[in-house]
Chains A and B, each alone.
Chain A
Amino acid sequence: MSFATAPSVAAKSPGSVSGIGDAWQMLGGLKILLPFAVLVAIWWAIKAAGDIPDNLLVSPLQAWNAFVHLVTYGVMAEYASTSLTMLGIAAFISMAAGVPIGFAVGVNRYAAHALEGFLRFLQGISGIAWLPLAIIWFGFSHTTTLVIVIYTLIVPIIFNTMIGVRAIPEGYALALRSLGAGRLRLILDVYLPGALPSIVVGLRLGMGYGWRALIAAEMLVRKGGLGDLIFGARTFGQIDRIMVGMIVIGCLYIVVDRLIIQPIENLTVARWGLLQR
């Protein structure tokens, strides 16, 4: 009996899900834009009703004009690409180092126990708190910014990789060992794919924290990037640039998350049924 129902349910679900999914996506698109529209409306109303001078608050239209100006002269592209490049380099280095470290800790029960408290301690010391030391050691340089961002990114990646490795059911590895699998096989076929959902979570968290740390570091280091853009604008009282910069910072993060991290999830974790949505 259960055999007869299992295939039909499995065969039907993809079609029906995508049909409902389309409608949801359209509705979801509107829902996502609504809060932004409300925010802009409030902003505009405050500006107009309060008769606030331009050196305290600009109108959305003035901000838009500043945005067009910055884009036309290539200023925005330069600052934004500096920030994105830094984040990309930091993410690459953090993954390359953090995943193996998380693995090494995760497969060793004693190391995992020993390091859990320490990793939480590090999570408590934000990247920004390292800035004074980093500036003394590396000066006002890209190195300082990178060190801060990598530190911020790598801790959640290590932590979540470790948790992911430990959450893999024992039976997976035992079954494979009785099929003759060696250590390398176990890592490639069991531990790496098994820990991937958690690694993606770690990367996602890390990118979020890392992006914030990056902007903050750029404000102090002043060697380019969106943080530099908005902090520099403050010195000249360019409220419009500050506000445009902030909006771009938020938008770029959404783009990074949607365009890079979600596709990874959809290709792997969602397809394997390991992700509950």
Chain B
Amino acid sequence: MTAGEKIVVSKFRHFYATADGPVQATDMVDLAIRAGEFVTLVGPSGCGKTTLLKAIAGFLRPTEGTIACDGKPVREPGRDRGVVFQEFAILPWRTVRRNISHGLEIARMPREKREKIVARLIELTGLSGFEHRYPHELSGGMRQRVAVARTWAADPDVILMDEPFAAVDAMTRLTLQEELARLTAATKKTVFFITHSVDEAVFLGDRVLVMTRRPGKIKAVIEVPGRASGRDWESFKLDRGMQAIIEKVLRLVREERGAAAPAASDAQPAEAPT
């Protein structure tokens, strides 16, 4: 392990037991994420992206290979690795404020300290004025902000995000992506972010990983140069260098979608052939 490497995945292979026998989800994934890095992962649907994330989170035991966080093997979920899910996994019976402070309550942080942190995150995620609302009173975008704020409030070193913005509308998504970029830069977190949108992967990532179709392995690693002015969609769309990277990643992803999938199917990812 090299110094500064936060998450190291080596020779990770995973099989799921199904009624028709074991199905291989991933094939020999090797991967290292440096501290403070924002790594995005794109790949066709069903290629094992989520399996990899769940293994890093500690929700499942790898069939083969090892996963380490700070040099220690991952065996179960832990406070050092926060997770943001696609399906807004905030609790409907807690208000916005109490959802965000949940991790701090679990850690038995004194009330005063807790409220300070929660207030700051409500401010940062644009949830001011909604503190006492229940999730069902919020839009999808707002709910996902609560989920993000809850994870950030617990102050984990690593944050794992599984297509967190896939279920919100397109306009909201752009805003949320910009906000996430800002939040991550301000808090210097290590982020591992899964998506099937190439634009999103290049916009957010310091490094973009492309996964093959199932059983997935890392096919290519593309470095994305940092942007001194921060990350916003307007300048990103005008940046020729960035658009060239998108083209490159898109080509790599399309190869994996196979000949059967039409070329213009970026918005609707084709199922990976088995």
- Residues of A bordering B, CB below 8 Å: 1-3, 5-7, 10, 169, 171-172, 174-181, 185, 189-190, 193-194, 196, 268, 271-274
User: How distant is the Cα of A201 from the Cα of B175 in the complex, in angstroms?
Assistant: 41
Residues in chain A near residue B85, CB distance under 8 A: 171, 174-175
Contact status of A268 and B81, CB under 8 A, knowing A2-B141, A3-B141: no
Which residue from chain A places its CB closest to the CB of B86 in the assembled complex? A171
A-B contact pairs, 17 of them (CB 8 A): A2-B169, A2-B171, A3-B175, A171-B87, A171-B89, A174-B77, A174-B85, A175-B85, A177-B77, A178-B57, A178-B83, A179-B151, A179-B154, A180-B78, A180-B154, A194-B93, A271-B134
If over half of A's interface residues share one DSSP class (helix, strand or loop), that class is named, otherwise mixed; here it is helix
Are B87 and A7 interface neighbours, CB within 8 A? Answer: no
Chain A residues within an 8 Å CB radius of B189:
none
B142 sits at the interface (CB 8 A): yes
User: Across the interface, which residues of B come within 8 angstroms of A177, CB to CB?
Assistant: 59, 76-77
How many Å from the CB of A145 to the closest CB on chain B? Answer: 37
A-side contacts of B58, CB under 8 Å: 178
| Cβ-defined contact, B137 with A175, below 8 A | no
- B residues 81-131 in Cβ contact with A at 8 Å: 81-83, 85, 87, 89-93, 102-103, 106-107, 126, 129-130
Q: Name the A residues within 8 Å of B133 (CB-CB).
A: 10
Residues of B within 8 A of A7 (CB): 129-130
Which chain A residues border B171 with CB–CB below 8 Å?
1-2
B135 within 8 A of partner (CB): yes
Measured CB to CB, the closest approach of chain A to B247, in angstroms, equals: 30
Using A7-B129, A10-B137, A179-B150 as known contacts, say yes or no to A174 and B103 having CB atoms under 8 A apart: no
Q: Is the CB of A189 within 8 A of B79?
A: no
Residues of chain A lying within 8 A (CB to CB) of residue B59? 174, 177
Considering only CB atoms, which chain B residue lies closest to A192 in the complex?
A: B93
- Chain A CB within 8 A of B139 CB: yes
Give the docked Cα–Cα distance between A175 and B136 (Å): 18
CB neighbours of A174 from chain B (8 A): 57, 59, 77, 83, 85, 89
In angstroms, Cα B82 to Cα A254, docked, is 48
Which residues on the B side are within 8 Å of A175 (C-beta)?
Answer: 83, 85, 89-90, 147, 150
| Total inter-chain residue pairs, C-beta < 8 Å | 92
Beyond contacts A6-B141, A174-B85, A179-B103: 7 other A-B pairs, Cβ-Cβ < 8 A, are A5-B139, A6-B139, A172-B91, A174-B59, A178-B58, A179-B106, A179-B154
B106 touches A180 (CB 8 A): yes
Complex contact A189–B78 (CB within 8 A) = no
Residues of A within 8 A of B106 (CB): 176, 179-181, 185
Main secondary structure of the interface of B (DSSP, over half): loop
Contacts of A268 in B (CB 8 A): 93
A274 to B90, CA, bound (A): 13
User: In the complex, what's the smallest C-beta–C-beta distance from A103 to chain B, in angstroms?
Assistant: 17
Q: Are B89 and A272 in contact (CB under 8 A)?
A: no
Contact A193 B139 (CB under 8 A): no
A178 to B80, CA, bound (A): 8
Cβ of A5: which chain B residues have Cβ within 8 Å of it?
A: 139
| CB <8 Å contact, B89 and A169 | yes
Complex Cα distance, B135 from A273, in Å, reads 8
B77 cross-chain contacts in A, Cβ below 8 A: 174, 177-178
Tell me whether A179 and B91 are in contact in the complex, defined as CB-CB below 8 angstroms, given that A2-B169, A174-B83 are known contacts: no
A6 adjacent to B142 (CB under 8 Å): yes
Kindly list chain B residues whose C-beta atoms are within 8 Å of the C-beta of A180: 78-79, 103, 106-107, 154
Are B137 and A3 within 8 A (Cβ)? Answer: no
For A178, give its contact among B81, B126, B134, B142 (CB under 8 Å). B81
Asked whether B103 lies within 8 Å of A272 as measured between CB atoms, the reply is: no
Contact B154 A272, beta carbon cutoff 8 Å:
no
Residues in A with CB closer than 8 Å to B87 are 169, 171
Considering only residues 13-30 of chain B, those with a C-beta below 8 Å from chain A are none
Contact of A272 among B78, B93, B150, B172 (CB under 8 A): B93
Least CB distance, B124 to chain A, in whole angstroms: 15
Chain A minimum-CB-distance residue to B89: A171
Q: Does B138 contact A (CB under 8 A)?
A: yes
Determine how close the nearest CB of chain A comes to the CB of B80; give it in whole angstroms: 9
**Is the CB–CB distance between A272 and B79 below 8 Å?**
no
Residues of chain A within 8 A of B79, CB atoms compared: 178-180
| Set of chain B residues within 8 Å of A6, measured between Cβ atoms | 138-139, 141-142
Given contacts A6-B138, A6-B142, contact A176 B102 (CB under 8 A): yes
